[in-house]
Structure 1
Amino acid sequence: MTQILFYGVPEGCSFGSIVALEWSKQPYRLSRIEMPETVTSAAYRQINPVAETPTLRTSTGEFISESMAILNHIGAGAIEQGIAFRQGTKDFDRLNQMLAFLNTTYFSAYASLWYALEHVSDGNEKETLIAYGRTNVAKAHEDLELLLGNQQWLLGDKPTLADAYFMGIARWSHFHKTASYADYPGLNKLHQRLEDDAAVKFAHAIEHEKEAKSAGGFAGHISFDDVLKIALEAV
């Protein structure tokens, strides 16, 4: 059974999981989930009760949610590709430390901006949320610039799952018109290096429904309805 990633559009952080799958060279399929329409539906909640993307249907039929869990699942099968490390090693701990920072600090910095966009009409409340969000985003970028230091990639001299996840979130800066990468030389170089990567270009094309050329194990799209039917039949 080929694993299936349910990725959210527009601008889902699941972008990073697509990049990771491409780097892993593992066979996989994609299922496009419109947000908020499909992701909040009763049907989607059958596979992810909290109504979020990404969700991964593994090769053995289980469903995994949350980006960190999905990335580590992908990474466990991609040690030889160098994007992840064996549990118990120093590098594994370093990778999970960086993934945790990206998940708790970098990702969360945008929370008030997303809330203001999706749930608040114009007025003082929206202005306050946006100002608060911009302050958080600036601080998160400052911290990540320090963690990156003089390295080419977040963990050193080669890309890992952390860089894939970073790219899934990094696009939000432009989307929300917040931090400018020109103010963060190291992150600016990392961001451009990733934009030039074939897997990132593939993920962009997938999101925007353009012709996408996979350098990994992409085996095509499958509709959510078809996946759900298969999953329910297997129960």
Structure 2
Amino acid sequence: MNPILFYGVPEGCSFGAIVALEWSGLPYQLCRIDMPAVVSSAAYRRINPVAETPSLRTAEGRPVNQSVAILHHIGAQNPGSGLVPAQGTPDYDRFNEVLAFLNTDFFEAFSPLWYAMEHGMADRDRQVLQAMGHHKVRKAHADLEQMLGSNPWLAGSRRSAADAYFVGIARWNDFHQVLDRREFPALAALHTRLEAEPAVRFAHAVEHGEPALSTGAFMGHVDLEDVLVGHQAAVRASAKASAPAA
């Protein structure tokens, strides 16, 4: 059974997991979850009870939720891909430091801007949130610029799942028009390099429902309804196999 990534659109943070799967070389399928309609549905909550994307159904049929856990899982399935450095090494510590920063400070910096856009509120309240968001986004970029230093990739000399996660979140700056990325030369160079990656172009095309050429082992899309039918059948088969003999 192929792993299935449930990814959210539009502009979802599932983007990095798609890029990581392409880089991994592992066979996988995708299931498109429209937001907010489908992601909050009872059907999807059977996949992820907290109604969030991304979610991953592993090759063994187990659910893995939350981006950090999914990226670690993908990297562990093919250690040779270098998506996650070997445990116990300085590169592994560096990778986790950067990934944690992206998943907290960098991601959260955009939260006030999304909230101001998606919720009706008085002009003054919206302006306060936007000002807060602009400050947080600028600080997060400045901090990440310092963390990157002279390294070509976020975790050091080799691209990793952290770079995949970064490029998915960094595009939110283009959406909200907070800053000119050229103010942070190292990050700007990294972003340009990542946008030229075939896996990143593939993820963009997939999200926009455009023809997409995989450079990995993408095995096509599957409908949520079909996944759920297959899941029910697997649960019944497992229960029958584990039942005591009469």
User: Per-residue deviation at 1:152?
Assistant: 1.2
Partners of 2:127 and 2:19 lie apart in 1 by 34
Q: Does 1:98 align with 2:98?
A: yes
Which has the larger displacement, 156-165 or 26-35? Answer: 156-165
Q: Does 1:231 align with 2:231?
A: yes
Is contact 1:76–1:85 with CA below 8 Å preserved after alignment?
Answer: no
Q: Specify the code of the residue in structure 2 equivalent to 1:13.
A: C
Partners of 1:35 and 1:122 lie apart in 2 by 25
State the TM-score, normalizing by the size of structure 2: 0.93
User: Per-residue deviation at 1:78?
Assistant: 2.4
Partners of 1:203 and 1:149 lie apart in 2 by 27
Q: Specify the code of the residue in structure 2 equivalent to 1:103.
A: N
Which has the larger displacement, 116-125 or 196-205? Answer: 116-125
Paired residue secondary structure (1:219): strand
Q: Does 1:77 align with 2:72?
A: no
Corresponding residue of 2:119: 119
Which is greater in Rg?
2
Is contact 2:91–2:156 with CA below 8 Å preserved after alignment?
Answer: no
* CA shift digits 1:169-223 (9 cap, x unpaired): 0110001111221111111000000000010010011111111111101000001
Q: Specify the code of the residue in structure 2 equivalent to 1:31.
A: C
State the TM-score, normalizing by the size of structure 1: 0.97
User: Where in structure 2 are there 5+ consecutive unaligned residues?
Assistant: 236-246
User: Per-residue deviation at 1:122?
Assistant: 4.9
* CA shift digits 1:57-113 (9 cap, x unpaired): 000001111000000000101221122122232222211111101001000101111
Paired residue secondary structure (1:154): coil
Equivalent positions of 1:94-173 (< 5 A) are: 94-173=94-173
Q: Does 1:43 align with 2:54?
A: no
Paired residue secondary structure (1:32): strand
Partners of 1:232 and 1:114 lie apart in 2 by 36
Paired residue secondary structure (1:165): helix
User: Per-residue deviation at 1:42?
Assistant: 1.4
Is contact 1:76–1:86 with CA below 8 Å preserved after alignment?
Answer: no
User: Where in structure 1 are there 5+ consecutive unaligned residues?
Assistant: none
Q: Aligned pairs, how many?
A: 235
